[in-house]
Structure 1
Amino acid sequence: MSVGVRGTGVGSFPGEGQRDYDEALSVVLGELAADEHGLAFVPEVPGRGAGAAMTGRTLGLVTELDADLQPEGWRLTGTSGASPADQRRARSLLAQDLDALEEQASAHTGPFKVQVTGPWTLAATVERPRGDKLLADHGARRDLAQALALAVSDHLADVRRRLPDASELVLQLDEPALSAVLAAGVPTASGFGKHRMVHPPEASEALEWVLAAAEAAGATPWVHCCAPDVPIGLLRGAGARGVMVDLDLLDAGGHDAAAEALEAGDTIVLGVVPTTGPLPGDKVLVERVLRWLDMLGLDPEEVGAGLAVSPTCGLAASTPAGARRALELARNVARSVSG
């Protein structure tokens, strides 16, 4: 059986302080960086505050738009000039995290993954200056996606500078809200209604701007969506060369779309390691992955590097020991499936 299946993580880790981030980074590098079946990544520790969580962390990268933190969450200010203090703090915290990465892994020669929140999840969570989500404003969500594309280019250039010998950079676009955006499932500010659905062509266009920016910067673009009804075909059509899914949430159409992606040479990252409850042993998860491949009529040898294994979602609600074990399981399962 060919070597190539990789184990990785979605991104988030438990903790509340900088020491917890440093420990998370050490765990990621220790479990994944030195193994041919591991795909290391920049960990996220959202317990440190809003600027370290997925929305704030990404807004810290977006220099084209100013945002501040309100009791209801992040909001664009509608002003220009110096970035608000909350956004500057988020930017500074990420720079500090990348400094730690450079210090510990500047000589890393394998693949490496970074995570950024996608345009539709941002549009569903960030407010306009006068209230309600950006999702309610066609022009605002377009501006956001274009600003994010620029931010992704700059971010990847920064990571490449810090990891000059990495064999591959992967950009993971986190889109947990995408299915709800497409299905008119995002609540309005009042909570009594739902935002109108975004039609697939517009959803695809915004994703394409960001994914194309990643590819132009020399990275392989993936999209992570740990929700039901993952639109795998739409994501691949927009330029995603990999899609990260939760196996428990895939319906029949999702299984077929995942098989089609693998057969076409794209990557499917199969979320099989639980993030809640007791963790199973390696053998149980290996058998589950092999049964899934068999159900789809796919030969593990032919799938090769197109398949990766991960936890079902982030690990922020886990314990430090549980998060370490989850990554170890993902790597071990990948190694076993590879033979």
Structure 2
Amino acid sequence: MSSPFGPAATTAMGSLPGEDMREWTKFVLEGVTIPFLPELPARPYGDMVSRAAGVIGSLALDLQPAGWRLTGGNDPRASLDQRRARSLLQQDLDVLEELAEGYEGPLKVQLTGPWTLAATVELPRGDKVLADHGARRDLAEAVAYGLQEHVAELRRRVPGASLVVQIDEPGLPAVLAGAVPTASGWGKHRSVDGPGSVDLLSRVIEAVAPALTVVHCCAARPPIEVFRKAGAGGVAVDVSLLTDAAWEQIAFAVEDGTTLYAGVVPTTGAVPKPEQAAGLLTRRWHEIGLTQKSLVDVVITPACGLAGAPSPSDARARLELLGRTAQVVGDAAEA
């Protein structure tokens, strides 16, 4: 199955440096083929977990020194922090709606997934939501419902957009491995089995259908099989980290019609030449037995989020490199 975006598609993972939402929105609407709603964690309430807190409407959370916590209530007005996170999101959507007037084409939005939130957000009396089966189910359902409403609002604000929903799950490998520390720091939370992990993630993915979905996880062995079974149409990875076993999973996924979002442009260090950025992807593609022609369906991205870039200009240089790198990959597909 060919990519829905056509050849030489590019995008980024969402997070960017600095605090100028207007300038970044202008840039991504023109600078990548799959524009996205920027996330600017340098702003108060601009990080990925705060963004999720702003999207969630059926559970109340507040911000403690240790991070976000469920308050145990059902009234989101109980949390000043949650209202501030929601207000910032609305301001960002206002900017997007203004600048994307008349836009037609793909548009991506990102949100922290249920397992990473469960491993990050605390219960009212301490420890992580991950420790409580009922609480993590309730959190996943709140994420699914909130994201569904968020997507509906985006469709109203940018009616010409074909939405792509990116679910960020950097914490899922640790959840599956039983590597998330308990509150005391002396132990680890019990690992979650494969079917259990698929269940909660699939609730979120199903909630936004028929929007295209991609699950993002920058790890050496991202749980690609979990993502596929949960119904994700794409997987986003940092290709420089992948083990041989992970590349095998990539091969199975691509052959099954999953779109690969290949993180090939590094987020730090020297900005490489396009041929350098594309080299690992094109070489491993051949080694795992995929056809060169199928490279045309790969979406080219930075290795991960760019919020840690030393400056907005550095991040822009990396985003500008995406198109040239995609062209090199496209040329390899035709070779």
Deviation of 1:282 after TM superposition, in Å, equals 1.1
- 1:290 aligned residue: 282
Query: In the alignment, residue 162 of structure 1 is paired with which amino acid?
Result: R
Matches of 2:204 and 2:141, distance apart in 1? 7
The answer to whether the Cα contact below 8 Å between 1:6 and 1:335 also exists between their aligned partners in 2 is: no
Q: Residue 7 of structure 1 contacts residue 333 of structure 1 at CA under 8 Å; is this kept in 2?
A: no
Name stretches of at least 5 consecutive residues in structure 1 with no aligned partner. Answer: 33-37
Helix, strand or coil: the match of 2:118? Answer: helix
Map of 1:299 onto structure 2: 291
Q: Normalising by the residue count of structure 2, what TM-score does the alignment of the two structures yield?
A: 0.94
1:239 equivalent in structure 2: 231
Matches within 5 A, 1:104-183: 104-166=99-161, 168-183=162-177
| Deviation per residue, 1:99-125 (Å, 9 max, x gap) | 100100121111111001000000000
Counterpart in the other structure of 1:329? 321
Bigger drift between 91-100 and 249-258 goes to 249-258
SS at match of 1:205: helix
Which residue does 1:7 correspond to in 2?
Answer: 10
Residue identity (%):
49
Structure 2 partner of 1:89: 84
The 3-state SS of whatever aligns with 1:112 is strand
Alignment match, 1:35? none
Is 1:59 aligned with 2:50? no
Query: Residues 250-329 of structure 1: matches in 2 within 5 Å?
Result: 250-305=242-297, 307-318=298-309, 319-329=311-321
Q: How does 1:36-47 map to 2 (within 5 A)?
A: 38-47=33-42
> Which residue identity lines up with residue 242 of structure 2 in the other structure?
L
Q: Conserved in 2, the CA contact under 8 Å of 1:114 and 1:171?
A: yes
Q: Output the TM-score relative to the length of structure 1.
A: 0.93
Q: CA deviation at 1:162?
A: 1.3
Q: CA RMSD in A?
A: 1.4
Asked if structure 2 preserves the Cα contact closer than 8 Å seen for 1:174 and 1:223, the reply is yes
Q: For 2:42, what is the secondary structure of its paired residue?
A: helix
Q: Which moved more, 1:291-300 or 1:129-138?
A: 291-300
- C-alpha deviation, 1:304, in angstroms: 3.0
Correspondence for 2:213: 221
Q: Secondary structure at the match of 2:163?
A: strand
Cα deviation, 1:154-207, whole Å, max 9, x if unaligned, reads 0100111111112x2110000000000000111111111111111111111000
Query: Structure 1 residue 303: deviation in Å?
Result: 4.1
The one-character-per-residue Cα deviations of 1:250-307 (angstroms, maximum 9, x if unpaired) are: 11111011111111211111111111111101121233322122122222323432x1
Unaligned stretches of 5+ residues in structure 2 = none
Tell me, yes or no, if the aligned pair for 2:114 and 2:200 is still in contact at 8 Å. yes
In 1, the alpha carbon distance for the partners of 2:306 and 2:99 equals 22
Aligned match of 2:62: 68
Question: Alignment partner of 2:294: what SS?
Answer: helix
| SS of 1:48 mapped into structure 2 | coil
